[in-house]
Amino acid sequence: MNKDIIEYRKTLEKDLDQNRFEHSLGVEYTSACLAFIHGCNVTDARIAGLLHDCAKCIPHSEQIKIMEKAGQPPLKEELDNQSLLHSKCGAIIAHDKYEIDDPDILNAIRFHTVGRPNMSLLEKIVYVADFIEPTRKELQIMERVRKAAFIDIDQALLWIMESVRDYVSGKGYAPAPSSIAAHDFYKNQIKVNEDLRNGRI
Ligand SMILES: [Fe+2]
Ligand SMILES: [Fe+2]
């Protein structure tokens, strides 16, 4: 597999607007830091983080066409909330245009919006890095999620899923069934870290 990150960056810069490109660099760096501490392949984390939003600036109608052409038509939940389209479409573009063939990297891109039950470490890293990278808006929960990300990534994942669920329902949308399945899985799966939850570390 071609792992020339400099070349990926040059191509990506043309595919994204400036803010989205800066965000993607932030996710690349943050994914690398999380990979250091949690023992994941750092190059894979950088590539997945860098490319996770590679479809984000393509119009939704075009994203739908790309997905249909690839034999992966959108789910109803993706048509109802079209901001979800870019993750599955991004995995297609990462494969076809950036020639990424590592299934774990492609899945980290594919599931970065709603997550899924039983995520790989790389999938968790990109999901969490997307939320906490340095250019993200300073939400009230950001400080504790950033800290948790480096101590207990499952706890960070669950807090992000809860935050996204509250944001989506606050906007008047029904949460996507995929994100409910992922949230339910981690809610029942993870052992609550009382020290983190109570701000003791
Ligand atoms: Fe995204
Ligand atoms: Fe993103």
More confident residue, 175 or 57: 57
Residue 10's pLDDT band, with cuts at 50, 70 and 90, is: very high
Place of tokens 């599931």: 111
Rounded to the nearest whole angstrom, what is the distance from the C-alpha of residue 51 to the centroid of ligand 2?
9
Q: Is the pLDDT of residue 48 over 90?
A: yes
Domain 3-197 has CATH 1.10.3210.10: yes
Ligand with minimal distance to 115 CA: 1
Distance CA(37)–CA(108), nearest Å, equals: 18
Rounded to the nearest whole angstrom, what is the distance from the C-alpha of residue 127 to the centroid of ligand 2?
9
pLDDT in tens, 161-198: 999 999 888 888 888 888 999 999 998 887 767 777 77
Q: Is the pLDDT of residue 9 over 50?
A: yes
Rounded to the nearest whole angstrom, what is the distance from the C-alpha of residue 130 to the centroid of ligand 2?
5
Q: Is the pLDDT of residue 95 over 90?
A: yes
Rounded to the nearest whole angstrom, what is the distance from the C-alpha of residue 112 to the centroid of ligand 2?
8
Write the DSSP string, 67-126. Answer: HHHTT-PPPHHHHHSGGGHHHHHHHHHHHHTS----HHHHHHHHTTTT--TT--HHHHHH
Burial pattern 16-50, b for ≥16 Cβ within 10 A else e, equals beeeebebbbbbbbbbbbbbeebebeeebbbbbbb
Q: Is the pLDDT of residue 1 over 70?
A: no
